[in-house]
Amino acid sequence: MSDDQPMKGSCQCGGVTYEITGKPLAMFVCHCTQCQKLSASAYSTTMLVKLSDLHVTGEMKTWERMSDSGRRNVAYFCPDCGNRIYHLDPEAPAFARFKAGTLDNAKMPVPDAHLWVNSKQPWDEIPEGIPSYPGNLPPEEAKKLFSRNS
């Protein structure tokens, strides 16, 4: 975990900037096909943060879809460069699933788990000792993570 508090970052064009004033609760690498599209890459990195710890400057646009696990997923992104900043489930608005690749002064935390590895690229090897799941984080694991951080 980084000692640089607050963590700071921005979208690619700099129109949207942010600070994260609290510690991230968890870090995931997601290999689902939607994350491959949104990152234009092999996976996306998602940091779970309290929405109240996330302070964004600049205007964002939103786009909503249903996630593979059947929940609403609202994506917040820069209207100019299109860079994704975070995702929010409107039914659980306390936590933002923050796109860690947009950080600029802080090292990303080491991932707690790899998700949706059933759709990961075959060359993409997960380091030993890091939990990985074929789909979403199982509810009992999610519960453990949240109790660890509360």
Binding site for Zn ion (CB under 5 A): 11, 13, 15, 30, 32, 35, 78, 80-81
Q: Which runs of E-coded beta strand occur in the chain?
A: 7-10, 17-20, 26-30, 44-50, 54-57, 61-66, 72-77, 84-88, 95-99, 113-115
Residue with the two structure tokens 């994350």: 35
Q: Which is nearer to Zn ion, 52 or 130 (CB)?
A: 130
Q: Which is nearer to Zn ion, 75 or 78 (CB)?
A: 78
Q: Which is nearer to Zn ion, 27 or 32 (CB)?
A: 32
The closest of 137, 39, 135, 139 to 87, measured between CA atoms, is 39
Question: What six digits make up the tokens of 16?
Answer: 């949207």
Q: Which is nearer to Zn ion, 5 or 33 (CB)?
A: 33
User: In angstroms, what is the minimal distance from the CB of 38 to Zn ion?
Assistant: 8
DSSP character at residue 47? E
Q: Where are the alpha helices (DSSP H) in the chain?
A: 33-39, 139-148
Q: Which is nearer to Zn ion, 19 or 80 (CB)?
A: 80
User: In angstroms, what is the minimal distance from the CB of 63 to Zn ion?
Assistant: 15
C-alpha 52 chain-centroid distance: 16
Q: Where are the alpha helices (DSSP H) in 29-135?
A: 33-39
User: In angstroms, what is the minimal distance from the CB of 40 to Zn ion?
Assistant: 13
User: In angstroms, what is the minimal distance from the CB of 66 to Zn ion?
Assistant: 13
User: In angstroms, what is the minimal distance from the CB of 80 to Zn ion?
Assistant: 5
